[in-house]
Amino acid sequence: MIQDTQQDPIGLIRGRYRVYTATSAQDIQAAQSLRALAFGLRSSQDIDAFDPSQDHVLVRETDSGRLVCCFRTWVFCGAAIHQSYAAQFYDLRRLAAFDGPMMELGRFCVHPDVSDPDVVRIAWGAMTQFVDARGIRLLFGCTSFAGVDMRPYLHAFALLQARHLAPPRWQPAESAAEAVRFADHGPQTLDQKSAMLHMPPLLRTYLLMGGWVSDHAVIDRQMNTLHVFTGLEIAAIPENRKRLLRGLA
In this prediction, residue 235 carries a pLDDT of 92
Contact status, residue 104 vs residue 87, Cβ threshold 8 Å: no
List the CATH number of the domain containing 196: 3.40.630.30
Q: What is the pLDDT of residues 20-35, one digit of tens each?
A: 999 999 999 999 999 9
Instruction: Render pLDDT for 227-248 as a digit per residue (tens, 0 to 9).
Output: 999 999 999 998 888 887 777 7
Q: How many domains does the chain have?
A: 1
What pTM did the predictor assign? 0.92
Query: What range defines the domain where residue 230 resides?
Result: 2-248
Residue-averaged pLDDT of the chain: 92
- Polymer length in residues for the chain: 249
Question: Left if phi > 0, otherwise alpha if psi is -120 to 50, otherwise beta: which for 116?
Answer: beta
Evaluate whether 164 touches 236 at the Cβ level (below 8 Å): no
The predicted pLDDT at position 9 comes to 61
The alpha carbon of residue 89 and the mean position of all alpha carbons in its chain are separated, in whole angstroms, by 14
Q: How confident is the model over 205-230, as pLDDT tens digits?
A: 999 999 999 999 999 999 999 999 99
